Amino acid sequence: MTLTLDAAPARAAATRFDGFTNIHKAIRAALAETLVLAGRVDVEDAADRAATIQAVRWLLTFCAMHLAKEDTYIHPAMEARRHGSTAARAAEHREHEEAFLHLASAVEAFEARPSAASAAFLYRGLAVFMAENLLHMEQEESTDNAVLWDAYSDAELAEIEGRIVASLKPEEAAEAFRVMLPALAPTERAQLLSGIRAKAPAPVFEMLSGVALSVLPAPAAARLRADLA
Ligand SMILES: [Fe+2]
């Protein structure tokens, strides 16, 4: 795939509802952090291996959950008003599901027979998956957002996003927050939590803001507290 970067989608995202930005920042951060962990794993250190294996398995679960939400909520909405508009991205989702299986077996091989070779196989597999997923998410944020913005109002898109958020179990929302919040800009963190405070029951806001404040470095947590006050 050759990608021509275009400033227009990023400009449009600043004025339209964009349900991809926050979760994709979380996924990009998780991909990058996990790739670095896998690259520097000490194959002779059982604790380091276990932490790396756990991180890769968590990443695969997180990416699979995100893919399922797009398949269930975003693609049907696109197809409902722009028939055929999801063909390319849906095919990429099926390829990602194959990549999940490939990476799961690479993790299993590394766990069963830790060596420089099995670590390199896992690391390079993760790198290729990250490369494909980065391009995929860029297409969603440019091409697919253009379809959504043309076919739906911002209020309708916010309603779709609300259904995705409502479908998350509390522990799934907390897990997503744990990786998402450190990956967002300060203003995005404040906007996200203000929106939850306005719409969700108070205990949900308390739980998620607690997760947010616990995962942020002290200065970022102080800024978030101030922005929400
Ligand atoms: Fe996707």
Q: How far is the CA of 124 from the centre of ligand 1 (A)?
A: 21
Q: What is the pLDDT of residues 24-68, one digit of tens each?
A: 999 999 999 999 999 999 999 999 999 999 999 999 999 999 999
- What confidence tens digit (pLDDT) does each residue in 4-29 have? 667 776 777 778 999 999 999 999 99
Is-above-0.85 flag for pTM? yes
Domain closes at, from 139, 167, 195: 167
How far separated are the first and last CA of the chain, in Å rounded? 46
Residue 48 lies in a domain: yes
User: In Å, how far are 12, 28, 88, 126, 149 from 62, measured between CA atoms?
Assistant: 28, 12, 22, 14, 26
Assigned domain for 5 exists: no
108 and 220 in a single domain? The answer is: no
- Classify residue 114 by its DSSP letter: -
Which domain range does residue 120 map to?
A: 18-167
52 with 122, same domain: the answer is yes
What distance in angstroms lies between residue 89's CA and the mean position of ligand 1's atoms? 7
Domain count, the chain: 2
Does residue 89 sit in the same domain as residue 152? yes
Taking a C-beta distance cutoff of 8 angstroms, is the pair 192, 216 a contact? no
> Ligand 1 centroid vs 185 CA: distance in angstroms?
22
pLDDT single digits (tens) 133-186: 999 999 999 999 999 999 999 999 999 999 998 899 888 889 999 999 999 999
pLDDT above 70 for 2: no
Q: Is there a single domain that holds both residue 197 and residue 157?
A: no
Answer whether residue 2 is part of any domain.
no
Q: 140 CA distance to ligand 1 centroid (A)? A: 7
